[in-house]
């Protein structure tokens, strides 16, 4: 659900808890084009026993990659591929990254495979799961959770409005958003009074990867850093004022980036001037297949202060509901998704392939509103201990932001 708000948002305790435990976390492919239904044993599977019983995997994944996932999962399900048991099928559900994490912790969903938008959520889930169960639910090994695809987190903006801010001749970033957000004349200061106020949006940072990335990026930008953000940085008055200025223009937010982008592209510039989302969604909007009558093209702004990457990890949960048969089946699914054919399909949906042997090419180009040579400046990881988290929380609550619960999606 999306809520209009003219007041400044309050950052919730969960947001700052996420900031406090933020950490950054490939697998080999198979020649699936020639695969037979019994040809998966060569993939290093550790089959302690075999059966002909079919295996059904439950997978929850970030909604921003829904179109690619629907395509490749349908293909996978038609093949009848096997691991140690019978044919494998996958029931895949799109959902916001933060929302799915909370539902896993609450026990309301029990996925065998989880693919949130960013690796941050794996560490966050492990941290909270460990407190409840004294064990990790996700393997923290270097190759245990390979990225499926990559996509920079950008500011999507209608092309004429981006041009009014100076794009593409000069780089644009959070400082520009803060400036226009606090300008009482709005777009009139840029020669376009007909556009009214600048209207900005991002997803709720408690529920969505891009929303969390946006708030962290605002803090980085305030102190002109790309990493190593300290407690002092976050608590200083300048940082609080800068973040509050950016957030003052946020009038819509939601709990899943894919659904949020859909609202912007269908609602047009009267609904939002700009929003934080993934590069892939900008490509998708400009392809004309889903949104055939955009009022203007959409372009991706790679914040000059530093851009985050969304890496879409593939994680098999170490939970009591994930049987050995499901773990082996998940390995077959993982290798299928990382195979060259599926990675090339990902490119057609606007994602940057995780496998380096698949080069970045069209539709990742200027005709679709993006620049494959960007970002030139990449934001790094943020690490905070629990003591700093508590002080962050106290400071954030004093600002008054993000207090509303977005509720279920519509």
Q: Are residues 179 and 207 in the same domain?
A: yes
Using 50, 70 and 90 to split pLDDT, how confident is the model at 176? very high
41 shares its domain with 141:
yes
286 and 257 share a domain? yes
Which secondary-structure segment (H or E) carries 74? Answer: helix 66-79
User: In the structure, what pLDDT confidence band is assigned to residue 224 with cuts at 50, 70 and 90?
Assistant: confident
Out of 41-50, 256-265, 296-305, least confident range: 41-50
Over the chain, what is the mean pLDDT?
83
Question: What's the CA gap between 348 and 351, in Å, rounded?
Answer: 7
What tens digit of pLDDT does each residue of 283-297 get? 999 999 889 889 999
Give the C-alpha separation, 88 to 55, whole Å.
5
- 168 cis-preceded (ω within 30 degrees of 0): yes
Based on the fold, state whether residues 89 and 229 are members of the same structural domain: no
Same domain, 94 and 229: no
Predicted pLDDT of residue 382: 53
Give the phi and the psi of residue 32 in degrees, each rounded to 5. -65, -20
Indicate the pLDDT class of residue 42, thresholds 50, 70 and 90. Answer: very low
Maximum CA pair distance of the chain?
Answer: 71
pLDDT surpassing 90 at residue 83: yes
Query: CA 97, CA 180: separation in Å to the nearest integer?
Result: 30
CA distance 121 to 32: 30
133 plus 161 within the same structural domain: no
- Say if residue 387 is in the same domain as residue 247: yes
Q: Is the pLDDT of residue 367 over 80?
A: yes
Q: For residue 82, is pLDDT > 50?
A: yes
pLDDT tens-digit readout, 102-146: 999 999 999 999 999 998 889 889 989 999 999 999 999 989 999
Q: Are 243 and 393 in contact (CB under 8 A)?
A: no
Q: What order of strands is seen across the sheet that includes strand 113-115?
A: 88-95, 55-62, 113-115, 315-316
Q: Both tokens of residue 333?
A: 């699914």
Beta strand 55-62 with 113-115: parallel, antiparallel or unpaired? parallel
Taking each helix axis from N to C end, the angle separating 237-247 and 386-399, rounded to the nearest 10 degrees, works out to: 60
The first and second tokens of residue 306, run together, are 């530093």
- The DSSP bridge pattern shows strands 88-95 and 200-201 to be unpaired
Are 186 and 238 in the same domain? yes
Look up the CATH number of the domain holding residue 247.
Answer: 3.40.190.10
- Are 282 and 240 in a shared domain? yes
Task: State residue 22 phi and psi, 5-degree precision.
Answer: -65, 125
Q: What is the mean pLDDT of residues 157-184?
A: 95
Q: Is 36 contained in some domain?
A: yes
- pLDDT-derived band at 43 (thresholds 50, 70, 90) equals low
349 vs 362: CA distance, rounded Å: 10
In 73-93, which positions are buried (b, 16+ CB within 10 angstroms) versus exposed (e)? beebbebebbbbbbbbbbebe
The vertex-333 CA angle with 331 and 337, nearest 5°, equals 115
The pLDDT > 70 percentage for the chain reads 81
- Highest-confidence segment of 127-136, 208-217, 236-245: 127-136
The Cα–Cα gap between 223 and 235 comes to 11
Q: What is the pLDDT averaged over residues 254-267?
A: 82
pLDDT higher than 50, residue 211: yes
Structural domain that includes position 161: 13-20+151-310+377-399
CB count within 10 Å of CB 357 equals 8
Rounded distance between C-alpha atoms, residue 306 and residue 216, angstroms: 11
Comparing 2-6, 50-54, 140-144, 348-352, the range with the smallest average pLDDT is 2-6
pLDDT band at 269 (very low <50, low <70, confident <90, very high): very high
C-alpha 301/C-alpha 279 separation (Å) is 9
Of 196-205, 324-333, 359-368, give the lowest mean pLDDT range: 196-205
Q: Which pLDDT does position 1 carry in this prediction?
A: 44
The alpha helices in 165-247, defined as continuous H runs, are: 174-181, 209-222, 231-235, 237-247
Q: Which of 338, 354, 388 is the last residue of a domain?
A: 338
The 10s digit of each residue's pLDDT in 3-37 is 444 333 344 444 444 444 443 333 333 333 333 33
For residue 349, tell me if it sits in a domain. no
Q: 191: left (phi > 0), else alpha (psi -120 to 50), else beta?
A: left
Distance CA 353, CA 345 (A): 9
Give the confidence band of 260 by pLDDT, cuts at 50, 70, 90: confident
Residue 175 and residue 245 in one domain: yes
Query: Residues 249, 202: contact at Cβ < 8 Å?
Result: no
What confidence tier does 252 reach under pLDDT thresholds 50, 70, 90?
low
Task: Please indicate, yes or no, if residue 222 is contained in any of the structural domains.
Answer: yes
For residue 359, being part of any structural domain is answered with no
**Structural domains in the chain (count):** 2
Q: Say which residue, 390 or 48, is predicted with more confidence.
A: 48
46 within some domain: yes
Pairing of strands 149-158, 113-115: unpaired
Return the pLDDT at 387: 40
- The model carries a pTM of 0.81
Q: Which of 59-68, 120-129, 183-192 has the lowest mean pLDDT?
A: 120-129
């Amino acid at each position: 659900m999306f809520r209009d708000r003219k007041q400044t948002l309050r950052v919730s305790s969960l947001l700052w808890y996420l900031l406090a435990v933020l950490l950054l976390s490939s697998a080999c492919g198979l020649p699936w084009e020639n695969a037979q239904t019994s040809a998966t044993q060569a993939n290093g599977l550790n089959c302690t026993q075999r059966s002909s019983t079919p295996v059904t995997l439950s997978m929850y994944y970030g909604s921003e990659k829904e179109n690619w996932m629907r395509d490749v999962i349908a293909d996978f399900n038609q093949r009848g591929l096997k691991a140690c048991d019978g044919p494998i099928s996958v029931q895949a559900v799109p959902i916001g990254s933060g929302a799915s994490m909370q539902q896993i912790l609450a026990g309301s969903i029990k996925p065998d495979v989880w693919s949130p938008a960013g690796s941050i959520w794996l560490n966050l889930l492990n941290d909270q799961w460990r407190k409840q169960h004294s064990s990790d639910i996700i393997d923290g090994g270097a190759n245990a959770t390979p990225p499926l695809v990559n996509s920079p987190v950008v500011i999507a903006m209608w092309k004429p409005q981006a041009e009014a801010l100076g794009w593409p001749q000069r780089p644009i970033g959070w400082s520009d958003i803060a400036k226009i957000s606090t300008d009482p004349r709005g777009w009139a200061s840029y020669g376009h009074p007909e556009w009214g106020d600048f209207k900005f949006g991002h997803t709720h940072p408690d529920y969505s990867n891009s929303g969390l990335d946006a708030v962290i990026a605002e803090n980085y930008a305030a102190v002109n850093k790309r990493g190593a953000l300290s407690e002092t940085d976050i608590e200083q008055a300048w940082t609080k004022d800068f973040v509050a200025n950016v957030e003052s223009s946020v009038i819509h937010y939601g709990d899943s980036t894919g659904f949020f982008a859909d609202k912007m592209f269908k609602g047009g510039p009267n609904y939002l001037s700009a929003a934080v989302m993934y590069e892939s969604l900008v490509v998708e909007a400009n392809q004309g297949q889903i949104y055939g009558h955009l009022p203007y093209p959409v372009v991706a702004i790679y914040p000059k202060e530093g851009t985050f990457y969304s890496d879409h990890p593939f994680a098999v949960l170490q939970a009591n509901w994930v049987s050995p048969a499901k773990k082996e089946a998940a390995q077959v699914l993982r290798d299928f998704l990382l195979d060259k054919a599926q990675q090339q399909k990902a490119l057609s949906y606007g994602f940057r392939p995780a496998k380096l042997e698949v080069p970045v090419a069209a539709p990742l180009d200027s005709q679709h509103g993006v620049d494959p040579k960007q970002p030139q400046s990449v934001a790094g990881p943020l690490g905070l201990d629990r003591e700093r988290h508590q002080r962050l929380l106290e400071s954030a609550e004093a600002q008054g932001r993000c207090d509303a619960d977005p509720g279920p999606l519509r």
